[in-house]
Structure 1
């Protein structure tokens, strides 16, 4: 007699794993969980199944379970970058920063991620490549690389003075957009946009690697807010501009409802302008849009009670953004660079977060140790912004 309970074909686990990831991307988390568990049950030794299940559990905010499955994936394939990185994000979100920073170092080994410094530059003119900084003091010049997104650079810029104490005379490689931010930390001549123009350096470090090297834990996050400030003359010009556009006596609330569409998690972190309708009904409030890019077009469909001024087309750089923020009573923003900027300036900011937020916002908190003037408003159901927005509106009307 044949086996009445034949084993599933080898491809069955992979099929369930693929369905798990596809459904996760669609936000169908309950269905995804069923397929993710089946994939692992059918093949407990499948790296993809373990990794995808951990990723899904993060999105479901089942963080301890996500950590468990990503640890299993790491044990199975200790040289695979993806499970290390997802483990890092879950550890950091849960507040276990010290271990999380160690795993976070795997981010530059992810597929299709460029190294922070071109390898040819590290070995140019030397028998041995320039090494990544170990965090120790010394006389040799340190190169810091302003890596990752604009928000990351703004968040981690606070570490530059601390690194400067250990390595005086350090230089920073950054994009042109970040110059208005970083020149508040260093003299302009120490900021470089071209690899070819760098002075000689002994060692290097990504800006996002400084929290690990400096031993940052929840109780030791440096928060010398404000560590960024608007140019006083620019702030005065923008305040005068707003005075001419808005009725007197109204509270000025800035709005940013969408990030860059190229961001990997933009479909979760961004919202349409209409989702902020509760703010448009507030008494004695004037709304000021700092939104950039294609979402600006949504303003054409705005018919709320509160006046809305669109400054987006007039904003050229972060100098303008800082000057505008200086003249607001509060910013309401999704998780974008402008939210980080307001927090770094000490401007009151309400940050609207998706159900499974980025690691830096931790779990369940209304505050954040990174930005003392920020309050966090979280989705309670994936994809649903109404409760979080109503929460912001209630605090503004009180």
Structure 2
């Protein structure tokens, strides 16, 4: 079979079958794409583009090793097709093979020097390798070829911010709302984005955009905005309402666009640092969140009943939200915290939420464990619990921000190439002085990190 492909009982041209396979993958119909890819491979196992697309489908279905095998074979058969190393660059990145990713990325731009996507993929690899000047340079190359490429602008922003080049970074960060995943984050309105000039009371709408952690981090700037625009309206997720309500100077909090009222300008919460001119040397202080005393007493009494006397209480979060774009890099298994569990002088207090709480069922270690996760209703509960522990140990998730914003001592474990807000080569954070940072020393390698956390307790 050379120019046609059989699908079911129908024989269709190969070009149509390839288009269908690509479309199914793009439409996230991955089971159908897998079935079609396997049938096409059975008929034409040496066809490079079938191999390449079948590799992408395998990768999307979580079969990374098979994806790499198929895509490497395609590249070997057709070494001058620029698309193949360009996509391999991203698959290698997902597999943690950064040297191979860099090689593929460089080969892609060598074969197609006018392909903005190839430069963007290379920028991503340089970020993962903490080669931030190169990440910016490759982002700039992508932007030269496509001035309206939001992902390249945003990657440039993250590299600049991680490097501590805040003023430049905030400007590129403004492109985040042109990303596909940002659709619906801002209200449909003809009102302008706030430019930092004074407005009458109640006429500024502040939007709690992005993740829970971002909103907690940038919430400290609402009082600054309220000095210029008294009683701003805050629109945010219902889960954040109980905790952000503590911030002074807010007029009202709404969770639906139709309740925002007659505002004159709006600003995303994550846009306030740019307007306020925030750099690493002038971050407003933390300690702006405080739990309700009655709730603190309630959880303290519960912990006094459940936790053994005389042991240091260490709260623990080991997993993030699976839908987060970098969750694979930041999330650990509970068992990886074994160096903590070996300490007989501590008691583990889990404040983990979500499905990953189930890992507690397999817990084993000398340190007693109190699992509070199933009883936690919201961020106010988490914040109150943290007042009754000696320290939080956590991955990069919203609980780290809750601890930092309420001045709770915390040990934060970070991947080699972290989120921009944690900066580089430092064990502290200008955003949260109560947090001590423990970083991977090699990409995707947690060995030694938890041991250092345990030794520092």
After TM superposition, is the score higher than 0.5? yes
Match of 2:230 among 168, 175, 180: 168
Match of 1:205 among 252, 256, 267: 267
Identify the structure with bigger relative contact order (alpha carbons < 8 Å, sequence gap 6+).
1
1:137 aligns with 2:198: yes
Q: TM-score, normalised by structure 1?
A: 0.93
User: 1:254 matched to which residue of 2?
Assistant: 315
Match of 1:107 among 176, 183, 198: 176
Q: TM-score, normalised by structure 2?
A: 0.81
Asked whether the equivalents of residues 108 and 115 of structure 1 are also in contact (C-alpha less than 8 Å), the reply is no
1:74 aligns with 2:135: no
Task: Tell me how far apart the structure 2 counterparts of residues 28 and 333 of structure 1 sit (CA, whole Å).
Answer: 26
Asked whether the equivalents of residues 143 and 149 of structure 2 are also in contact (C-alpha less than 8 Å), the reply is yes
Cα deviation 1:160-207 (Å, max 9, x = unaligned): 000000100211001110012111114786000111122210000000
User: 2:156 matched to which residue of 1?
Assistant: 87
User: 1:4 matched to which residue of 2?
Assistant: none
CA gap of 1:15–1:211, structure 2 versus 1, over 3 A, is: same
Counterpart mapping for 1:369-384 below 5 A: 369-384=430-445
Task: Tell me how far apart the structure 2 counterparts of residues 59 and 386 of structure 1 sit (CA, whole Å).
Answer: 18
CA drift at 1:66: 0.9
CA gap of 1:187–1:373, structure 2 versus 1, over 3 A, is: same
Task: Tell me how far apart the structure 2 counterparts of residues 257 and 287 of structure 1 sit (CA, whole Å).
Answer: 12
Asked whether the equivalents of residues 257 and 334 of structure 1 are also in contact (C-alpha less than 8 Å), the reply is yes
Task: Tell me how far apart the structure 2 counterparts of residues 168 and 87 of structure 1 sit (CA, whole Å).
Answer: 34
CA drift at 1:138: 2.5
Task: Tell me how far apart the structure 1 counterparts of residues 138 and 439 of structure 2 sit (CA, whole Å).
Answer: 25
Asked whether the equivalents of residues 95 and 362 of structure 1 are also in contact (C-alpha less than 8 Å), the reply is yes
Q: Secondary structure at the match of 2:367?
A: coil
CA drift at 1:118: 2.7
Match of 2:353 among 292, 310, 318: 292
Residue range with higher mean Cα deviation, 193-202 or 268-277: 193-202
Asked whether the equivalents of residues 275 and 386 of structure 1 are also in contact (C-alpha less than 8 Å), the reply is no
Task: Tell me how far apart the structure 1 counterparts of residues 181 and 305 of structure 2 sit (CA, whole Å).
Answer: 48
User: 1:152 matched to which residue of 2?
Assistant: 214
Asked whether the equivalents of residues 226 and 249 of structure 2 are also in contact (C-alpha less than 8 Å), the reply is no
CA drift at 1:284: 1.4
CA drift at 1:112: 3.8
CA drift at 1:57: 0.9
Asked whether the equivalents of residues 82 and 111 of structure 2 are also in contact (C-alpha less than 8 Å), the reply is yes
Instruction: Report the aligned-residue RMSD.
Output: 1.5
Residue range with higher mean Cα deviation, 25-34 or 354-363: 25-34
User: 2:377 matched to which residue of 1?
Assistant: 316
Asked whether the equivalents of residues 131 and 202 of structure 1 are also in contact (C-alpha less than 8 Å), the reply is yes
Task: Tell me how far apart the structure 2 counterparts of residues 243 and 379 of structure 1 sit (CA, whole Å).
Answer: 35
Match of 2:99 among 3, 25, 30: 30
Structure 1: gaps (5+ residues): 1-7, 123-128
Task: Tell me how far apart the structure 1 counterparts of residues 166 and 310 of structure 2 sit (CA, whole Å).
Answer: 44
Asked whether the equivalents of residues 133 and 204 of structure 1 are also in contact (C-alpha less than 8 Å), the reply is yes
**Count of aligned positions:** 380
Task: Tell me how far apart the structure 1 counterparts of residues 222 and 243 of structure 2 sit (CA, whole Å).
Answer: 12
Match of 1:348 among 409, 420, 425: 409
Cα deviation 1:39-81 (Å, max 9, x = unaligned): 1112221101100000011111111111111111112211111
Match of 1:50 among 115, 119, 122: 119
Q: Secondary structure at the match of 1:239?
A: helix
User: 2:246 matched to which residue of 1?
Assistant: 184
Asked whether the equivalents of residues 228 and 344 of structure 1 are also in contact (C-alpha less than 8 Å), the reply is yes
Asked whether the equivalents of residues 350 and 370 of structure 2 are also in contact (C-alpha less than 8 Å), the reply is yes
Match of 1:18 among 76, 80, 87: 87
Structure 2: gaps (5+ residues): 1-76
Task: Tell me how far apart the structure 2 counterparts of residues 347 and 360 of structure 1 sit (CA, whole Å).
Answer: 18
